[in-house]
Structure 1
Amino acid sequence: MTSRDKSLQLVAALRFSVLTYAMAYGVSAHAANEAIQLNTLSVQSSVIGTSEEKDVAKYPGNRTVLTQEQLKKTAATSIDGALQQVPGVKVQDESGTGVLPNVSVRGLSGSRSERAQFLMDGVPLTLAPYGHTGQSVFPATFNTLDRIDVVRGGAAVQYGPNNVGGVINLVTKPIPNKWETQISNRISAYEDSDNLMNNLYLRSGGWLSDDFGIQFSANTLNGDSYREHSDTDVTNFDIKTDWLISEDKELQAFIQRYDSDMEMSGALSPTAYDADRQQSQRLNDDYEATATRWHLKYLQDLDWGNSSQLEVLTFGHHDTRNFIWGFNTAGGHWADPAQPSTDIRNSPREFDVYGVEPKLSVSFGERDGLTHNLIVGARYVNENIDYRLRQANIATGNVTVPRDWNLKTDAVAAYISDELGLLDGRLKVTPGVRFESIHMNFEDRNSGATDSNQINEVLPGITTAYSLDNAWVVYANAQKSLRAPQIAQVRGAGKEEGEVSWNYELGARFTQGQSSFNAALFQVDYKDQLQWQSATQTFDNIGETRHQGVELAGRYATQNVPGLSLGLAYTYLDATSEAEGPNQGNELPYASKHQVSWDASYDFSGYLSTLSGYYYSDAYSDNANTAQEDTTGATGKIPSYMVWNFNVSKELYQQDSTTLSVDVSVNNLFDEEYYFRGVDTSPVGRYPGLGRSYNVTANLTF
């Protein structure tokens, strides 16, 4: 069956599901056309709510919501660029386009964002939530988003697995109340380069009646980034609908098609980096990906005498991806960019995922000064992963298939949490527990070998929040988290029961108007962490790592100085290996001890100007904490770096519902030269960070 046939099947399934839901609840064409108040259901069955800024003030954990205003004024041009402003988050940007973000939270591995739990509109975005958490297809583009919610603590019971670093929810633009069309185009140019990148975004939608809304969205990214061999072609289309079936029933639907084709510049040897950091020594490296994704969410308010809601979420996707890269077998490291490639490797993979999650939330009201808000849910996820590796010798053309694996996973999870309100609701205590039962069947199609694995894990958690007054909240939480064995680990010599951690937070938050302050202490005790050993082609259980520190964030805005807004955040991170051995007590790779981000905005007669930036201290690139860089650039300290951005926004025209605005930004204002160590298919050498770039964005809404 071709990918096109599978896509058509998914569209047909979506249509069938909509009709099935409508028939099941007796909805006639006449009933659907009756005028119903334009209002989505009000009861929330999620601990993170709708990921809006107002949800943060009383939340029992450390949390940051990047609003549309914040995303726009800080000159962010990609999702990973926006995340640089969040305390505890570090990003390695290997393309300058945001197509493949490598996101690390609190010192956890950032390679392919493998230890960050990404959601889109509350639905798992990860390729395979259990068997392949590496986000080597990232089917989200910056322009389609309304806001980004980064929850570092307190959400593990409801959102799992792989939530050690928390949950990052990407919220797409909502359907507007009245029909609205938006056309936005950004052109990016780069210092000392003729390359240009064009980002076009189209959106049109609204409520056709009092009970049905629909929105179409298209985002394309075309051109060349700041380095040689960086041609990029990305398309992202989606349709979302919202049907208020009746006053107490609602059905939301979403379908998306994402395609990416990109040349990858790769890492540079230290000598090449010093000569010209915009060149590429990895001219064989390319990347291709597709994603067809959908979800349906049915919500019903229940008349049980108190606020209660049933939610049934079904979701699925078919994703493909293929990395192509040069491979050297003639001596030295296979990825040394200074050495010519003798072979070409490629790793085509396919992912078919389906899930269903019913959830019930009930508010029992107040009795004897105590309130109960109960959430009970379950989830079933089925995954089918094809994991191949091919290698072709450049001189002879001979092709071998070192790996041809398949992993089928059936996972069942159940969870319950009960928010108890005491002292007139000022004290909220929420105990909860999640149970994961995961069954994996592995097949090596080359050898015919098979293996199976069963993981059962109980994951308790508790959150507390106490409102000192209307402005101050203190909070604490503790939760156990699980990362299931990955497809490459099931057949290895690693710990097949999965990786577990205990996460702790203690903090205080102040919120008054547009001003806020948050201080949080955190500790992550990560046990049974697995690490790949290329010499033996197995995974070693390196034991415990500990991630602890403090995150501070403040924002100041006052009516006394209209148009002025100041933001500042600082993170201290101590991430170390705790396992016995020669590396005990060493810092973990890529974990900067100090991180600072800032922004200052002022409205000069309608010109909203923002100066923003971020700083990361130096970090090691290996477990041994090797300080001196070797000749290939594979090891050695990664220097600290500081990046400044500047953005000016101006509304040129506004009348009735028509608005025309322009944004002009300079990213990396002072052209800071910085680098990471190699990433994934180019793991040796220096990976240059994005130099100075110039961006002009025109936005028309009518």
Structure 2
Amino acid sequence: MPIIKGKMALTLALAATGAWAQSSGDPDALDQVDVISTTPFEGSEVDADRYPANVQSSTAADIERSESVNMVEFLNTELGSVHVNDAVNNPFQPDLKYRGYVASPLLGLPQGLSVYQDGVRVNEPFGDTVNFDLIPQAAIADIDLLPGSNPLFGLNTLGGALNIKTKSGFSHPGLQAQAYGGDFGRYGGHVSLGGNSGNLGWLFLVQGMEEDGWRDFSDSEVLQLFSKFSHIGEHGETHFSVTAADNRLRGNGAVPQRLAEERGRDQIFTYPDETSPQLMMFNLRGVRDLSDRTSLAWGGYYRQSDVDTFNGDGSEFDECEEFLGAGDPNAANLCEEPEEPDAMAEVVEQPNGDPIPAGPATLGGTQNTSSTRQDGYGVNLQLRTPGLIGGELTTGLTYDAGDSDFASQQEVARLTAERGTVGSGFFVGESFTRVNVENDNIGAFFMHRAPLTPDLEWTLGGRFNRTNITLNDQTPAFATEPGNSLDGDHHFSRLNMTTGMAWAVSRQLTFFSSVGQSSRAPSPLELTCANPDAPCRLPNGFVDDPPLEQVVATTVEIGARGGTRHLGWRSAVFHAVNEDDIIFISAGNRFEGFFDNVGDTRRQGVELGLDWQAMPRLRLTADYTFVQAEFRDSFRVNSPNHPNREPDPDNPGETRAAGSAQQVNSGDRLPLVPEHIFKLGADWNATEQLRLGLDVVGNSDQIFRGDESNTDSEQIGGYAIVNLHGELAVTNAVSLFARVNNVFDTDYETFGVYGESDEVLAGPQFEDAFRFIGPGAPRGIWGGIRVAL
């Protein structure tokens, strides 16, 4: 708490600086007016300076200027309080973190951010995941990052909401094209054609990228399509858009730290690890002015999202002879490694009940495959009318539904010399999982903005959610234990409220404050894996489930912003508490676990931002965030590969999974959330034709995933990475651009987790190599050409 008080003093000092500028009569007031949407839908726009929280906004021009390869790279380098954990090590599959909350494509993470594209919530129906590779960056017109537990943005808005608006033939007419290439075998580009003829507009866009990847066996392909047809009339507008994608992403994940140190950071542990997302989304929306102060916004969408995965991994199986002895009838078959030293090894059986023979083709590896077929659809209505005391009232209804089919299975395999897997044709019977999930969410919301005085505005809002999740177990009988059914009906409902104040002391100084609550229902994935007595293998198997409580987050925020035409600043202090937070807990061995409510967690801190036009041709930016993310309740968690787990008395020099329980105490830090995040930027228009830019991205150390007890003597080290970018205008229509990431070729890590490397890697140095890291990419240089007609 003393640190928080110190940061609060700095915040107030910045506010005082703005007040001094106002009292001294500086005439250079800020002229630019940023407009944001206070709900996911059109017709709710408001001056960002009157929004009672530390909102951040970016435009298509900002994204283009950064020369980023995708949206997440842009957010990581440009927006405050954002950082990434590169768990998969693919540029399109990072875990995006904001204020310690996550939006990720990975099943099993506690998704705490909601993401919208033109009013459509793109968190997937099955696990609330976000596949960023399905959002075409070149189609983005504006991005708003709204902080806090804002109930108006619905489920998963625990820490914030990312609201994306796309281009149209009215906002971005003409032909735009770019192509680039460079290191890691990466090349790509996009072409867009937009236009309008009075009331009708159109835009077509195709974007793609291919790369070999900077790590071994890490090639990827991305293909995204977007089109929009628009009509703008005297009293309203209508838009119909189609978004499609067909991608193949390889990200071979974390690598043992010792392997990276000995053989290079481009090494992989096992491969292939491939994800193939596909998307087809149709979105029809519009807004109509019913009078000068009354408008109706409406929308409907259909979204089909399919994700296939293929993961080559090490094996927990070995010859039964090792466990049962040479004289046992099953000695020549495969057995599963027992969880406890005195436990009996179980023979691995095929779907027909026959044992799987042990041999060169079945030892050393496994191939885990899954498919997720998701259909989502929904409608929304939003009415904006005059409110009380000269204010404005927005009310709305939403209905979203999803139908998901999940299937997974495991095939035993052998490992090649390069640690790749080759399937044997033998499948593990108990690994087969088939489940259908139907979920729907009904929401009713309101927001009232009331000007108490010409300079003081009060906001009151709320949303009621009713979520229904029905699980239909379709797992074959040979893979289901008696009494273990996934069937179930789950219902969650809650009314969440928010209120805030924005006080424009002058054109150069605004104070704001807000408090809000939001919630997320447990995802179908979490509900099917919540029994500590019957743990599951993520994402390869599920069991019957006891109920989980929904997570409720409360965020309090106060701050100030202001400045002049040449110097803008913003500051905020936030305090967010999650009640009944859900995390994945290992079951005592390295393969299985379950989800559970573990009590409260807290994220609090300070944000500071500066935007300074230092000279007519030089712009400087700076962002700093202090985040204190910690558990607030005590509990015990299993971490079977924790470096400090108990020694195995039967095997001197080794540890045992049975002694893996760790005590988590109130005040222990949440894994993978740095306490300090900082960003620096500079843009210099050296001449009328030449623009040069620099950005520095860094954060302090992080706790390994699996070290919730904070007892490991090592942490993931902090880092600072310098990037360069620039553009040279050859003509009014043609320019050349380039970007250099990690200019100084710094070795750094953004992710860390515990694992067991000696099951795959031979050598005494790997017997206790439990720490795995997600290495950051080395220096990369790309250049290209851009045409705008």
**Letter matched to residue 122 of structure 1:** G
Asked whether the equivalents of residues 90 and 249 of structure 2 are also in contact (C-alpha less than 8 Å), the reply is no
Q: Find 1:289's aligned residue among 277, 302, 306.
A: 277
**What is the 5 A alignment of 1:614-653?**
614-621=697-704, 622-628=707-713, 636-653=714-731
Q: Find 1:398's aligned residue among 426, 432, 435.
A: 426
In 2, distance between residues paired with 1:668 and 1:104? 20
Structure with higher Rg: it is 2
Alpha carbons of 1:678 and 1:580: their partners in 2 closer, same or farther (altered >3 Å)? closer
Asked whether the equivalents of residues 43 and 295 of structure 2 are also in contact (C-alpha less than 8 Å), the reply is no
Alpha carbons of 1:415 and 1:680: their partners in 2 closer, same or farther (altered >3 Å)? farther
Which residue is equivalent to 2:536? none
Which residue is equivalent to 2:116? 119
In 1, distance between residues paired with 2:37 and 2:171? 23
Determine if the alignment matches structure 1 residue 350 to structure 2 residue 342.
no
Shift of 1:218: 0.3
Equivalent residue of 1:398, what SS?
strand
**Letter matched to residue 357 of structure 1:** N
The worse-fitting range, judged by mean Cα deviation, of 678-687 and 688-697 is 678-687
Shift of 1:678: 5.3
- Residues 542-597 of structure 1: per-residue CA shift (max 9 Å, x gap): 11000000000010015xx2111010010001101001243221000011011110
**What is the 5 A alignment of 1:23-42?**
none
Which residue is equivalent to 1:198? 187
**Letter matched to residue 127 of structure 1:** E
**What is the 5 A alignment of 1:244-643?**
244=232, 246-274=233-261, 275-303=263-291, 306-327=292-313, 328-330=315-317, 341-364=364-387, 370-394=389-413, 396-399=424-427, 400=429, 401-424=431-454, 426-446=455-475, 447=480, 449-491=486-528, 492-493=530-531, 495-513=547-565, 515-535=567-587, 537-557=593-613, 561-581=615-635, 582-583=663-664, 584-605=666-687, 606-621=689-704, 622-628=707-713, 636-643=714-721
Asked whether the equivalents of residues 700 and 717 of structure 2 are also in contact (C-alpha less than 8 Å), the reply is yes
- Residues 402-450 of structure 1: per-residue CA shift (max 9 Å, x gap): 32112111211101111111212x1111111110011111122125541
Q: Find 2:158's aligned residue among 156, 164, 181.
A: 164
Equivalent residue of 2:51, what SS?
coil
Alpha carbons of 1:405 and 1:136: their partners in 2 closer, same or farther (altered >3 Å)? farther
What TM-score comes out, normalization by structure 2 length? 0.75
Alpha carbons of 1:210 and 1:394: their partners in 2 closer, same or farther (altered >3 Å)? same
- Residues 143-182 of structure 1: per-residue CA shift (max 9 Å, x gap): 332332211137x232111111111123333324685111
- Residues 338-363 of structure 1: per-residue CA shift (max 9 Å, x gap): x9852100121111101101010113
Asked whether the equivalents of residues 270 and 685 of structure 1 are also in contact (C-alpha less than 8 Å), the reply is yes
Which residue is equivalent to 1:23? none
In 2, distance between residues paired with 1:679 and 1:110? 18
Alpha carbons of 1:264 and 1:153: their partners in 2 closer, same or farther (altered >3 Å)? closer
Asked whether the equivalents of residues 60 and 141 of structure 2 are also in contact (C-alpha less than 8 Å), the reply is yes
- Residues 637-682 of structure 1: per-residue CA shift (max 9 Å, x gap): 111011101112111101xxxx111112211111111123358999
Which residue is equivalent to 1:106? 99
Equivalent residue of 1:485, what SS?
coil
Shift of 1:254: 0.7
Alpha carbons of 1:340 and 1:378: their partners in 2 closer, same or farther (altered >3 Å)? farther
In 1, distance between residues paired with 2:300 and 2:435? 27
Which residue is equivalent to 1:147? 142
Shift of 1:324: 1.2
Asked whether the equivalents of residues 168 and 229 of structure 2 are also in contact (C-alpha less than 8 Å), the reply is no
User: Considering only aligned residues, what root-mean-square deviation do their CA atoms show, in Å?
Assistant: 2.7
Equivalent residue of 2:744, what SS?
coil
Shift of 1:477: 0.7
Determine if the alignment matches structure 1 residue 694 to structure 2 residue 781.
yes
In 1, distance between residues paired with 2:46 and 2:565? 10
Equivalent residue of 2:634, what SS?
coil
In 2, distance between residues paired with 1:579 and 1:285? 36
Which residue is equivalent to 1:26? none
- Residues 284-329 of structure 1: per-residue CA shift (max 9 Å, x gap): 21111101011111211113xx411101111120111012112321
Alpha carbons of 1:50 and 1:198: their partners in 2 closer, same or farther (altered >3 Å)? farther
What residue ranges of structure 2 are gaps of 5+ in the alignment? Answer: 1-34, 319-335, 339-361, 415-423, 532-545, 636-662, 757-769
**Letter matched to residue 145 of structure 1:** I
Equivalent residue of 2:260, what SS?
helix
Alpha carbons of 1:341 and 1:440: their partners in 2 closer, same or farther (altered >3 Å)? same
Identical positions, percent: 22
In 2, distance between residues paired with 1:323 and 1:89? 28
- Residues 170-210 of structure 1: per-residue CA shift (max 9 Å, x gap): 33333246851111112131xxxxx3111220000110x21
In 2, distance between residues paired with 1:141 and 1:96? 20
In 2, distance between residues paired with 1:645 and 1:580? 41
| Count of residue pairs brought into register by the alignment | 626
**What is the 5 A alignment of 1:180-219?**
180-189=174-183, 195-207=184-196, 209-219=197-207
**Letter matched to residue 134 of structure 2:** P
Asked whether the equivalents of residues 577 and 601 of structure 2 are also in contact (C-alpha less than 8 Å), the reply is yes
Asked whether the equivalents of residues 75 and 667 of structure 1 are also in contact (C-alpha less than 8 Å), the reply is no
In 2, distance between residues paired with 1:569 and 1:58? 21
In 1, distance between residues paired with 2:243 and 2:401? 20
Asked whether the equivalents of residues 716 and 752 of structure 2 are also in contact (C-alpha less than 8 Å), the reply is no
Equivalent residue of 2:270, what SS?
coil
Alpha carbons of 1:587 and 1:215: their partners in 2 closer, same or farther (altered >3 Å)? same
Shift of 1:46: 4.2
Alpha carbons of 1:45 and 1:520: their partners in 2 closer, same or farther (altered >3 Å)? closer
Which residue is equivalent to 2:323? none
The worse-fitting range, judged by mean Cα deviation, of 198-207 and 444-453 is 444-453
In 2, distance between residues paired with 1:620 and 1:121? 36
In 2, distance between residues paired with 1:178 and 1:88? 30
Alpha carbons of 1:353 and 1:50: their partners in 2 closer, same or farther (altered >3 Å)? closer
In 2, distance between residues paired with 1:341 and 1:149? 48
**Letter matched to residue 602 of structure 2:** R
Which residue is equivalent to 2:24? none
Alpha carbons of 1:233 and 1:602: their partners in 2 closer, same or farther (altered >3 Å)? same
**Letter matched to residue 433 of structure 1:** G
Which residue is equivalent to 1:662? 736
Equivalent residue of 1:323, what SS?
strand
Shift of 1:480: 0.7
In 2, distance between residues paired with 1:177 and 1:456? 39
Shift of 1:47: 4.5
In 2, distance between residues paired with 1:680 and 1:67? 39
In 2, distance between residues paired with 1:649 and 1:298? 37
What TM-score comes out, normalization by structure 1 length? 0.84
In 2, distance between residues paired with 1:359 and 1:345? 44
Equivalent residue of 1:653, what SS?
coil
Equivalent residue of 1:272, what SS?
helix
- Residues 242-275 of structure 1: per-residue CA shift (max 9 Å, x gap): 112x421321111111011122232211222112
**What is the 5 A alignment of 1:226-241?**
226-241=214-229
The worse-fitting range, judged by mean Cα deviation, of 499-508 and 113-122 is 113-122
Alpha carbons of 1:488 and 1:341: their partners in 2 closer, same or farther (altered >3 Å)? farther
The worse-fitting range, judged by mean Cα deviation, of 501-510 and 110-119 is 110-119
Which residue is equivalent to 1:20? none
